[in-house]
Amino acid sequence: MVASDCLCASRTISARLRCRDVCNPALPLVAVQAMRVLIGCEESGIVRDAFLARGHEALSVDLQPTRRPGPHYQGDIFDVLDFPWDLAIVHIPCTHSSVSGAKHFAAKKMDGRYYAGNALWMRAWKGCEHIPRVCFEHPVSVISSLFRKPDQIIQPHMFGHPELKTTCLWLRRLPHLVATQELPPPYTQRVWRLGPSETRARERSETYPGIADAMASQWGAAAESVAA
């Protein structure tokens, strides 16, 4: 990048974040306009609404309709992934990668579901290369060995929910989430003890509101701040 190509004065977050690292990463940070945030593979609307509540432009996308009124694209995440988002938080389905279902891996390798499910995760991560800041959320899974270990592992009890549900975060240019309300034990494993029902998978995949609020308040502020 040469001086004539400098975009540090741009009003778009994406351009300023990319330019800052090249021009002068030591410059102080200042707030700029609201972000354009993509929440991938979310039908609950919980994370999306946390960002909307803080004044950001946010869209959730999922093959299922949203359960909460709000900006939502019902369809394939790749239909909207190439838009110039400032931040993406993606929840690729874990059905064929979570170690909790490892006993089914042999059968899923035979019919290809194992490979297709994990390839989807990899394809989406690569598809986010143009987005300045990215988080992929997943349970403990084979992604740690097929790709790399997560940057952070969090629990609901760090954010005001007295429960255990190990959640791995793969981060690109985002700081670790800081616990907002650490609760002491005992903890429950509510989501893993849900009985069979039509909504079980949906309930198990929901982001806890405390975690969603932390993402919006901490990452919203972090990604809004770029070099002046």
d(CA 129, CA 49): 24
Taking the complete model, does pTM exceed 0.75, yes or no? yes
Considering only CA atoms, which of 63, 65, 35, 64 is closest in space to residue 50? 35
Residue 11 has pLDDT above 90, yes or no: no
Q: What is the mean pLDDT of residues 188-202?
A: 65
Determine the Cα–Cα distance for residues 179 and 42; give it in Å rounded to an integer. Answer: 23
Q: What is the mean pLDDT of residues 57-71?
A: 97
Q: Report pLDDT for 23.
A: 52
pLDDT of residue 19: 52
CA angle 220, 98, 42 (to 5 degrees): 35
Reduce the DSSP state of residue 199 to 3 states and report it: coil
Domain ranges of the chain: 34-227
Q: Which fold has domain 34-227?
A: Rossmann fold (3.40.50)
**Between residues 100 and 5, the one the model is more confident about:** 100
